[in-house]
Each structure stands twice: as C-alpha cells, then as structure tokens.
Amino acid sequence: MRLAFSTLGVPGLPVADVVRLAGAHGFRGVEVRAHPEEPVHPGIGRAERASVKAEFTAGGITLVGVAGYARVAAPGDDAPVLRELRDLVELAADLDAPFVRVFPGAAPGADTAEADAAAVRRLGAAAEHAAARGVRVLLETHDSHRTGADALRVLGRVGHRHVGALWDVMHTWLGGEDPARTGPALSPYLGYTQVKDIASAADTTPLPLGSGVVPLGACVDALARAGWDGWLCWEYEKRWYPQAAPLEGLLGAGREYLEGLLKAARPGG
C-alpha cells in the first residue's frame, strides 16, 4: 500500500507548497479537496489545470484523487447532480487523477429505498462518461451511507467498474461496523482508503494517527488480508477544526506510524 494525505489538512495551501510538503515527509500521493475556497476546483481553467498537473509531475507526487462534494443520494432533480459529477470527472481527467470522491448525502430521515435508487440512477448515468475519461467515481462511506453495507447496497446495483467505493474508516467504525467485515466486503470495489484518528465517538476532533480511538491497525490488517494494495490517504480534517494542531508538524510521525501498521499487517487471511 502507498501513502498519501488530503489537502483538507492544509486548507488553502498553494499547490507547489502541498507538493513540497508531501515530498519532504515521504508521502507519494495527495488527495485534493475540490472546493472553490481551495486552489483546485472545477471552476479553474485549462491553463490552471495544466499548471497543477505540471507541479505534481515535477515533484514526483501522484495526484490520487479529486475530493468532490456531489451528493448522489440527495433529494431533488438529477440534472444538477449529474452536471456536478461531469465537472468533477473532467477536472480529474485533466489532472490525470484516477479517482473522484462523492458523498451519498441523502436527507435525514429519507426513505432508504428512494435514496438508494437516486444514488444508483445518478452513478449509473455518470459511469460511461467516467469510463470514457479514464476516471472512477468513488462513493465514500459517509453521512447517510456510513457503513460498507450501506455503500454496497448502491454499488452492487450500479454494477459498473468505473463506479466504486472510498472507505472512510472513521465513518464505518462510528456506524458500528467491524473493520474485519468492511475491508473484505469493500475491497472488490475500493479505489482508495481514507484513514484518520479522533478523540472519541462523541468528539471527532482530528488527532495524530495512533493517538485516538479509531482501530487503524485492524483496518490496515483487513485490507492486507483481503489482498488489497492501493492508497492509504490520511484525511486530517483541519479545515473543520481550526483548533487542531497543524498537519505540517505531524506528517513525518504519521507516515512512520502508517509504515509500522503496514509492516505488521498480515496478508492472506
């Protein structure tokens, strides 16, 4: 498995500085948060996209994924969601990023069958465009579809290899799902995995990896046992918790911690 981090941990940092930070601390990949308040988002033009791509190439850092905010199970018309999906796919393709992250985003209390159907319909409609551009759209285990079982209800019905899963290990744990179950279940669909650590189920303030309550070792072990070999991306949610320690001072120790988990992981199963 290879190691990356998300720009959610360094909000607003220029791309050149993100690339230098990754290289300096031994991370080989970066997930970019695709939001208008960040340097990389669907509203930037061709010249800016080419510049971003060139920065990553020159630094020898892989742009792992574009973390978008489309909500595929949200109520309302399909058209705005499909436009957002198309724009994210185009951005990822222009940057040579293999993955686009999307959220489920069903309304609280929504009918599960209706929310699932909306997600299936929209992801299915986006799949061929994603395939044509060499991009996979990944449904994150998040909000209304927090567990692997929730995501699989959708992904199994879409049935397209350019639509997959992003495992956010915190959300499946908060949803009461054992990593030993989540890892094998999601591995056939998995694009990459987001790792993080938090203080408690009641306090999701981000912490240095290994100092909180998320069973990260069990998650990595489950992936190794399933034979999965992709990106582990540290999503440190500094953007939402300004009181959290700066990520820049934690990156080196975080990489070492993840490398230790990888060495200890038991392949096979």
Looking at residue 211, its pLDDT comes to: 98
For residue 105, what pLDDT band results from cuts at 50, 70 and 90?
very high
Looking at residue 269, its pLDDT comes to: 52
pLDDT for 268 beyond 80: no
DSSP states along 126-181:
HHHHHHHTT-EEEEESBTTB-SHHHHHHHHHHH--TTEEEEEEHHHHHHTT--HHH
Where exactly are the structural domains of the chain? Answer: 2-264
pLDDT for 58 beyond 70: yes
CA distance 177 to 35: 30
Supply 67's token pair: 């973390």
DSSP strand E in 62-125: where? 62-71, 99-103
For residue 267, what pLDDT band results from cuts at 50, 70 and 90?
confident
Model confidence pLDDT, tens digit, residues 25-40: 999 999 999 999 999 9
Q: What is the CATH number of domain 2-264?
A: 3.20.20.150
